[in-house]
Structure 1
Amino acid sequence: MTRARNASLQLLFGWLNLALAVPGIYLMFGMPLVMRQYGWSGTEIGLFQLAALPAVFKFLLAVPVQRLRLGKGHLVHWLLLLGTALLVLYWLIGRHNLIEQRLPLFAMTLAISTLVTWMDIPLNALAVQWLPRSEQLRAGSIRSAALFLGAIVGGGAMLLVQARLGWRAPFLIMGAALLIGALPLPLLLRKRTAAPVPERAMPVGTATSLVADWVGFFDQPAARQWTWLLLSAFPFIGAAWLYLKPLMLDQGLPMQQVAWLVGILGGSVGALASLLGGRLIGVLGTARAIVAYLLAALLALVLLTVTVWVQLGVAWLIASTVALAASMGAVSALMFGLTLFFSRRQRTASDYGLQSSLFVITRLAAPVAAGLLLDRLGYPGMLACLCAGLLLALLLAWRVRQSIAGSAEMLLASERQPVVGTVSILSEGKP
């Protein structure tokens, strides 16, 4: 029964993560193709990407979620409140075709981006509270797979829907997907779906300052080592993936083939690798998985660098794309899973928001630096620098792997043992 309940929760959280991934990808990565057709300049399209900035401030958006308790089961209530606001925005943006109205479209996209970013906090905080620690690495892999699938749906399928059914259709579909995921939440709350008693739990309602929350996060065993890994493990391979489409175009591949290879094939491989990577963590152990996944990412990036440098041809370029997508999926699953692990049960929103902001800052900064390197050194030089950065991240991972794995094992062990004299976090939704 417990296994079926956990599987149902994983499916629900995966669906909601997918529903929240699609709108941002559609508006900020899919829509520029349509914008170009309607005469938007490159500068206008570039400035439009500033609508993604709310993700940088997720640590601030987490503050009201953590501190303003909307009754029993307040995380579910936060999800429903923000979800309702998001549905209203879908209705407003779908009323009129805004593709030729720069400022209104940017304002609506910024508002949707803010709500999607905000909803991500109670959603994944709820995953920490409702799922046992032994399921959280799997939850990270499912979330990673949802993001890859979101790239396929938002960056491809929704554009086809808009072309055939009109401006409003994608927003109706995205609204329906959100409703399907949100409707079971009140029922689950009433049934008191919950996780085991938390480790080192604090009584509900314990008040601390915002700074004390952050200090408490870094006081966890191996939290500082994990933070350095969080900052360095993904940005280099993420930057390489971002520049893969223009790289292929400059290598002479037609646009449709590039879209299929990177968007469809790459997204599918990344999603499968995320799911398999999550399961392999249990086989390899956290310490070995950290090193193995980053080593695989480095080898994939080296393969791409050599392919471009030596001009090995299209077949090797395709092989590099598949290898890069697979390693990126595995690394993403590991990063998301450990982010949940290092979110304390009574400080889930603030801990998750802080880690997400740190992750986003380096993920956004790396492509900017890579673009400067591209202009000065070309693709081979840029990729070589990214390889060097990833090598440093791998060396760091080798050094901190045992500390991070030991902290994860402590959390699992403490969960298996009953906690005496504390109030369970499962009072979330209980009288």
Structure 2
Amino acid sequence: MTKPRLFGLQLLFGWMNLVLAVPSIYLMFGMPLVMRQHGWSGTEIGLFQLAALPAIFKFLFAVPVQRVRLGRGHFVHWLLLLSALLLALYWLIGRHNLIGDRVMLFALTFAISIAATWADIPLNALAVQWLPRSEQLRAGSIRSAALFLGAIVGGGAMIVVQSRLGWQAPFWLMGGGLLIGALPFLLLRAQAALPEQTASGDAPAPGVMADWAGFFNQPGARQWTLLLLTSFPFIGAVWLYLKPLMLDMGMPLEHVAFIVGIVGGMTGALFSLLGGRLAPILGTARAIALYLLAALCALALLTLTVWAELGPTWLIASAICVAASMGAVSALMFGLTMFFTRRQRNASDYGLQTTVFTVARLAVPIAAGVLLDRLGYTGMLLVLTLGVLLSFVLAWRVRGKVERSAQSILDGERV
């Protein structure tokens, strides 16, 4: 495959990951500001976050995508079908201002969460299918960067658009972005020069449990799953609590929003791209260890800054370090997720891994909130830093096995 075509595919997959991330971020992380302005209680805003629950069940959504074939090129057809459903939901939620209709707003947000979560499965199954293994670490870094940019767009820019242009405008923009990304898949599907792998359709279909067992029976898959469970959630939880931490330490709201929301998001996106670029040069084993060591140092610096009350300059520097290390770690995690996704089981393996990742990513912040109430910021940060230390020790022990498995997958494709 030529370099221009690879670049175009990477750009297309990155764009689609961005436009699928923005609606959930906007509705569940940006919208609470508007809700509060319109009299929603804290309990109502908290319960509204339950609309994110479909992400936990991605492994179940992957089953029909893997098994129900919608003709030749069924992953493309699944993606287009779910994109059409998402467009219809944008039209429904954008017809009238629903900020005062709590039940309807929650129901449509929940439906959008299902459609966007579901569409992510055929999209990234296609990335595994169409991109060479040598390009998949880069694809993971682009996806990570897209999620950081999605946080900026969904959590900030769309709120500004709504306040200036009205309730409908963000949904029109999100729908337009989705159309721009989805339509090229029709052209790609029609090109014989970019055939879809047919191994998944030719192979006999085992049971769902056999599919999942087959994933864990891959060489290195168990070690990789342990890394997937531990590498990101602790630093991700720190990022979640950075805004309230900085507010409670006396930093103005506007400064916090700019530092964490804009500068931090851009830093995370930049280091996602750099992390994906450096990983093949460093080697998987070395990259795993170095990126987690960077995360450990960033959290240790932040913990020391809060404990010693070193002031706003050190706090800002620590936050930027957390963003940078989080970007590099997430890029590596997304890239290796693609490596451990078997081409014959693209959707089911991807859905299983992202469910494991999501459960850990949601569980650790809940535990961190309990720690915050009991131990304060210093105690919470110390425990989360120890969690990253545990992940680093684990990564040090299994990094060789994971690298050998990833290399054997890459060598197998070359053969």
TM-score using structure 2 length: 0.98
Indicate the SS of the match to 2:202. coil
Measured in 2, the distance between the counterparts of 1:197 and 1:362 equals: 32
Measured in 2, the distance between the counterparts of 1:203 and 1:356 equals: 23
1:204 corresponds in structure 2 to: 202
1:264 corresponds in structure 2 to: 262
Measured in 2, the distance between the counterparts of 1:344 and 1:364 equals: 26
Mapping 1:377-396, distance limit 5 Å: 377-396=375-394
Alpha-carbon displacement from aligned partner over 1:241-298 (angstroms, at most 9, x marks no partner): 0000000000001111100000000000000000000000011000000000000001
Alpha-carbon displacement from aligned partner over 1:190-238 (angstroms, at most 9, x marks no partner): 113548989xx66625211000000100010100000000000001000
In angstroms, what is the RMSD of aligned CA positions?
1.2
2:150 corresponds in structure 1 to: 150
Measured in 1, the distance between the counterparts of 2:194 and 2:317 equals: 43
1:78 corresponds in structure 2 to: 78
Measured in 2, the distance between the counterparts of 1:157 and 1:363 equals: 25
1:172 corresponds in structure 2 to: 172
Indicate the SS of the match to 2:363. helix
Measured in 2, the distance between the counterparts of 1:209 and 1:323 equals: 45
1:49 corresponds in structure 2 to: 49
Please say if 1:254 is aligned against 2:245.
no
Mapping 1:58-77, distance limit 5 Å: 58-77=58-77
Indicate the SS of the match to 1:413. helix
1:213 paired residue among 211, 214, 227: 211
1:235 corresponds in structure 2 to: 233
Alpha-carbon displacement from aligned partner over 1:311-362 (angstroms, at most 9, x marks no partner): 0000001100110000000000000000000000010100000000000001
1:331 paired residue among 321, 329, 332: 329
Report if the CA contact (8 A) 2:203-2:344 is conserved.
no
Measured in 1, the distance between the counterparts of 2:12 and 2:192 equals: 16
Mapping 1:260-299, distance limit 5 Å: 260-299=258-297
Please say if 1:133 is aligned against 2:95.
no
Paired letter, 2:264: G
Alpha-carbon displacement from aligned partner over 1:87-142 (angstroms, at most 9, x marks no partner): 00000000000011111100010000000000000000000000000000000000
Report if the CA contact (8 A) 2:303-2:382 is conserved.
yes
2:310 corresponds in structure 1 to: 312
Indicate the SS of the match to 1:183. helix
Measured in 2, the distance between the counterparts of 1:309 and 1:297 equals: 18
Alpha-carbon distance change, 202 to 12 in structure 1, aligned in 2, over 3 angstroms: closer
Moved more, 304-313 or 185-194: 185-194
Alpha-carbon displacement from aligned partner over 1:70-97 (angstroms, at most 9, x marks no partner): 0000000000000001000000000000
Report if the CA contact (8 A) 1:130-1:193 is conserved.
no
1:103 corresponds in structure 2 to: 103
2:347 paired residue among 309, 331, 349: 349
Measured in 1, the distance between the counterparts of 2:359 and 2:84 equals: 28
Alpha-carbon displacement from aligned partner over 1:177-197 (angstroms, at most 9, x marks no partner): 000001110111111354898
Identity rate, percent: 70
Measured in 1, the distance between the counterparts of 2:369 and 2:20 equals: 28
Paired letter, 2:297: L
Alpha-carbon distance change, 202 to 146 in structure 1, aligned in 2, over 3 angstroms: closer
Paired letter, 2:125: A
1:401 corresponds in structure 2 to: 399
Measured in 1, the distance between the counterparts of 2:328 and 2:77 equals: 32
Measured in 2, the distance between the counterparts of 1:339 and 1:271 equals: 18
Report if the CA contact (8 A) 2:129-2:197 is conserved.
no
Measured in 2, the distance between the counterparts of 1:205 and 1:225 equals: 27
Listed as ranges, the gaps of 5+ residues in structure 2 are none
Indicate the SS of the match to 2:97. coil
Report if the CA contact (8 A) 2:73-2:196 is conserved.
no
Measured in 1, the distance between the counterparts of 2:264 and 2:238 equals: 13
Report if the CA contact (8 A) 1:18-1:149 is conserved.
yes
Report if the CA contact (8 A) 1:23-1:154 is conserved.
yes
Report if the CA contact (8 A) 2:284-2:403 is conserved.
yes
Report if the CA contact (8 A) 1:197-1:415 is conserved.
no
1:8 corresponds in structure 2 to: 8
Measured in 2, the distance between the counterparts of 1:233 and 1:35 equals: 34
1:189 corresponds in structure 2 to: 189
Indicate the SS of the match to 2:222. helix
Moved over 6 A (4+): 195-198
